Amino acid sequence: MTRFTTAFIPAFTRLAAATALLASATVAHAQALKLGHIVPPTHVWHQVSEKIAADLGTATGGKMKVAVSPLQKLGNEAQMINLMQAGAQQLGVFTVGGLANREESLLGWSLPYVFKDVAHASRAAATPAAQDMLKRLDQHGLVGLGYTFAGMRHVLSLQPVTSAKDLANKKVRSFPSPIYNDWWTANGAAPTAMPLSEVAPSLTTKLLDAVDVDLDALVGLKFHQQAPHLTLTNHMAFPAVIVASKKWWAALSDADRATVTKVIKEAETWGYKTAIDADVNNLAKAKADGAKVIAFDIKSFQAVGGQVRDKYTAKNPLIADFYKQAQGL
């Protein structure tokens, strides 16, 4: 063995050891992050979540690896919020209704007959009041980073619904939120909360008469196969909030927080366009798959919208501000 070879072996060994050490340090600093939501993988919110996961991985060179869990796999929204407050879940896409159980002002998004369509609702996300709602999540252990939208909400039913009278005493699957309860009760219906996974069998067995639903969920979960009658009431927008765990957020460097913010803002903008396009495409898909669009008297639904709006704008000043700002768009 030559003197060069003898000298080279220790040097090579040291280099290999250093490379292995560097690799292990990189792996050690990689963050395995959890992002959870309640909708199926076909839903636009899942698409937004997947975009955030992919773009964060790219932007951080693999340092942030996000696993997306749909359909309540990490728990329902209340459970996931608790996980985030503890720092055990880092990111979430949660309905404004679910978050409104912690931050009441977010009920402003569910005021009936405020928004003409998804495009109108997405413009409202930039209003000062909507941004203030995000800031208020800080006191609940969450960091509000942006909004994402599903389609407008409609009525899917076992029997045709041509006016609000047709829903008198009927069980309508409704989002578990006080403003939804007030809205459907004012229309004479019996709002019934249940997980999305239980809706199809409940329609089949007629434990439910109708569903308050966005077209994204309708097409993804095929509820129209059990309840074929679709009344396009367009009564509410249906946004979700993209949130981070405050505990996790505080542990990030300024540079990492800037990266996460940039990625989510880009996903937010992408999500707006995707939701607007999806609302049109999903209606076409539902009709092609057998959903029957029912002609109806919209004034019968709009008649009680003012009562519900007045109750909640009087109750919360930020909701009142949001309503005024959204109307002016």
Name the residue ranges covered by the structural domains of the chain.
31-150+238-281, 153-236+291-324
Rg (CA), the chain: 24
Helix 317-327 and helix 298-315, axial crossing angle in degrees, nearest 10? 130
Task: Examine domains 31-150+238-281 and 153-236+291-324 and report if their fold is the same.
Answer: yes
> Locate tokens 């300024």: which residue?
254
Instruction: Name the architecture of domain 153-236+291-324.
Output: 3-Layer(aba) Sandwich (3.40)
Contact (Cβ atoms closer than 8 angstroms) between residue 65 and residue 34? no
Instruction: Show pLDDT as tens, one digit a residue, over the chain (329 residues).
Output: 444 444 434 444 444 444 444 333 444 468 999 999 999 999 999 999 999 999 999 999 999 999 999 999 999 999 999 999 999 999 999 999 999 999 999 999 999 999 999 999 999 999 999 999 999 999 999 999 999 999 999 999 999 999 999 999 999 999 999 999 999 999 999 999 998 889 999 999 999 999 999 999 999 999 999 999 999 999 999 999 999 999 999 999 999 999 999 999 999 999 999 999 999 999 999 999 999 999 999 999 999 999 999 999 999 999 999 999 999 99
Topology of 31-150+238-281 in CATH? D-Maltodextrin-Binding Protein; domain 2 (3.40.190)
